[in-house]
A and B are shown apart, each in its own frame.
Chain A
């Protein structure tokens, strides 16, 4: 009797776990619109430091302080784009200047 019910119970447990995971994802707005997603991300970011503190207290050891990285990928990218486009825009005049200088140098050599 138990041997017959066991597969059913196993299947029911698996379906409950999978269904529960899907429901949690749906309920916390992870599967919704872009706006809901960014709201959830904000909430998660705000919830991480208190959670980390609680874990640290529970385990009783101090995590090393995270070093403050002053690097902003956005600023680095933007400045890279601006510098590249600026270089491209002054490239023709720079090349012509260097060519003139080179020709002048060669003329001076032949004088």
Chain B
């Protein structure tokens, strides 16, 4: 993987982490207000979910260079 590609992957990772953090936080706030009487734990849970999704995406993105990708040829 070239350095430029690696840098782009890390940039995508950071942007994705920020977005998922915000989304998780937002959805956690919505759920906390609507269902759980404004408790804190849904907010923390949502934020954790978002960060976990971001981590998983980052991991797959950084691994994808070294993993074999296959395509199924269409039958003619």
Question: What's the minimum C-beta distance from B5 to chain A, rounded to whole angstroms?
Answer: 13
Residues of A within 8 A of B61 (CB): 34
Q: How many A-B residue pairs lie within 8 Å, measured between CB atoms?
A: 46
Task: Tell me what chain A mostly uses at the interface: helix, strand, loop, or mixed.
Answer: helix
State whether A30 and B12 are in contact (beta carbons under 8 Å apart), knowing that A18-B30, A18-B35, A41-B18 are contacts in the complex: no
Q: Cβ of B35 and Cβ of A38 under 8 Å apart?
A: no
Closest B residue to A38 using CB positions: B15
Q: Cβ of B19 and Cβ of A41 under 8 Å apart?
A: yes
Residues of B within 8 A of A25 (CB): 23, 26-27
Q: Cβ of A34 and Cβ of B27 under 8 Å apart?
A: no
Q: Cβ of A14 and Cβ of B35 under 8 Å apart?
A: yes
**Size class of A's contact patch?**
10 to 19
Question: What's the minimum C-beta distance from B56 to chain A, rounded to whole angstroms?
Answer: 10
Complex Cα spacing A29 to B58, Å: 16
Contact of A38 among B12, B23, B30, B31 (CB under 8 A): B12
Binding site for B on A (CB under 8 A): 14, 17-18, 21-22, 25, 30-31, 33-35, 37-38, 40-41
Q: A18-B34, A25-B26, A34-B16 are in contact. List 4 more A-B contacts (CB 8 A).
A: A21-B30, A30-B19, A38-B15, A40-B19
